[in-house]
Amino acid sequence: MNAGDVLETRTFTVTRADLVAYADASGDHNPIHQDEDVARSVGLPGVIAHGMYTLALVGRAVAEWTGGAEVVDLGAKFTSPVVVPAEGGAEVVVGGTVKSVADGLVTLALEVTCEGQKVLGMPKAVVREATVRA
């Protein structure tokens, strides 16, 4: 990987069933990720994906781009909710470029959107260069 490389954009569909599976696997059973009425009662537009679900999709894209390289840093602000409809799903689009390769680390610049709107603020992923298989 070299600075400036554009990585193949990944599109992931998130369904309500995915959120149920994620709640079970992660232990986060916050009802705002399952129940429309509870979500609306706290001012959300509807059932939203766990922020960590969206961040996990970033981790997935990074793993696919780098052949499962060792992740050193991963994080983001959850600036806009991913609203998941009861039917069908929400499409989360993860775009990336290689921002820098220095000191044995590859830093990726990311853009993560849903319905054309950015859902993550200052997303960051750094992997160890020696472990990249791409």
Q: Which is nearer to another protein, 4 or 121 (CB)?
A: 121
d(CA 15, CA 35): 13
Q: Which is nearer to another protein, 4 or 134 (CB)?
A: 134
Q: How far is the CB of 40 from another protein (least distance, A)?
A: 9
- Written as six digits, the tokens of 110 are 């990311």
Q: How far is the CB of 85 from another protein (least distance, A)?
A: 19
Q: Which is nearer to another protein, 4 or 127 (CB)?
A: 127
Give the containing element (helix H, strand E) for 128: strand 120-128
In this structure, how many other beta carbons lie within 10 angstroms of the beta carbon of residue 108? 24
Positions in the binding site for another protein (CB under 8 A): 12, 18, 21-22, 24-32, 38, 41-44, 50-53, 55-57, 59-60, 62-64, 68, 70-78, 81, 121, 124
